Structure 1
Amino acid sequence: MQDGYMNAPVDLADALSSFDEPWSPRTVALLNEYDVRVVKTRGEFTRHSHPDTDEFFLVLRGSLTIRMDSGDVTLGPGQMYVVPRGVPHQPVSVDGADVVLIEPSETVNTGDTPSELTAERRPL
């Protein structure tokens, strides 16, 4: 990705193999003012919400549970879910998962709850 524009197809497996840190999303493409991000998950993430935006999750590998007050949603490979704006949620993956996220470029991964897992925006 150069200057925010793709100049070649993105291989998501290659993108995911370029880093090891869980909960450290990498931006692989831009879609209008939205980032398409890949992230490796393992363990529990910070419970948080995004007051101004929905959050899209698509599991590529593994299993991801999104804990919410209204009930947990568990996703496997090929399954996706959109957490509505303002809904507190906590992604959890005991055995790890590879996930695609789509959210506005300025969105901070820990939303309204900064923590040690807050990551800076990192384009690949």
Structure 2
Amino acid sequence: MSKINISEKFSLFTDEWTPKVLAESNGQLVKIAKGSGELVWHKHDNEDELFIVFKGQLTLQLRTENIELGAGEMYVVPKGVEHCPIATPDTHFMMIEPASTAHTGELETEMTVSKDAQDWI
């Protein structure tokens, strides 16, 4: 393992809502993604999901409230909590979650990325 320049990694892709895996630590995957607009409402029954924003604004819609995150802010969506991420154009963020976490939980849509199809970058 060598050091990882996160800014450099963000420059290597343009696709949105398609997480790229940077590293694995103790069964947790460290992923980065870009987003614009809305993903889909979903939940992860058995895993918490940590979001850290590097650029732009990411709103985590929950059924009870909206959590707005700017650069340098983070939030953990607890397991079992339904959420829908919404991003301003060209938002860059990181997620840290167990390797078992499915991209959109049990929900399968055209935006879903299977665990087997996740790219390491």
TM band (smaller chain): over 0.9
On the 8 A contact 1:48/1:112 being kept in 2, the answer is yes
Find 1:41's aligned residue among 12, 15, 35: 35
2:8 partner amino acid: D
4+ runs deviating over 6 angstroms? none
Residue 99 of structure 1 is matched in structure 2 by 93
Partner SS state of residue 14, structure 1: helix
On the 8 A contact 1:59/1:77 being kept in 2, the answer is yes
Partner SS state of residue 28, structure 1: strand
1:50-69 deviations in whole A, cap 9, x for unaligned?
Answer: 00011000000000000011
Output the TM-score relative to the length of structure 1.
0.91
Residue 110 of structure 2 is matched in structure 1 by 116
Structure 2 alignment gaps of length 5 or more? none
- CA–CA distance in structure 2, aligned partners of residues 106 and 85 of structure 1: 13
Output the TM-score relative to the length of structure 2.
0.94
Q: 1:10-49 alignment to 2 at 5 Å?
A: 10-49=4-43
1:59-96 deviations in whole A, cap 9, x for unaligned?
Answer: 00000000011100000000000001000000001323
Instruction: Tell whether 2:51 aligns with 1:57.
Output: yes
Instruction: Tell whether 2:59 aligns with 1:68.
Output: no
- CA–CA distance in structure 2, aligned partners of residues 114 and 74 of structure 1: 25
Residue 3 of structure 1 is matched in structure 2 by none
- CA–CA distance in structure 2, aligned partners of residues 96 and 70 of structure 1: 26
On the 8 A contact 2:35/2:91 being kept in 1, the answer is yes
Partner SS state of residue 46, structure 2: coil
Partner SS state of residue 8, structure 2: helix
The structure in which a higher percent of residues are strand is 2
2:118 partner amino acid: R
Structure 1 alignment gaps of length 5 or more? 1-6
Pairwise CA RMSD of aligned residues?
Answer: 0.9
Partner SS state of residue 114, structure 1: coil
- CA–CA distance in structure 2, aligned partners of residues 94 and 12 of structure 1: 20
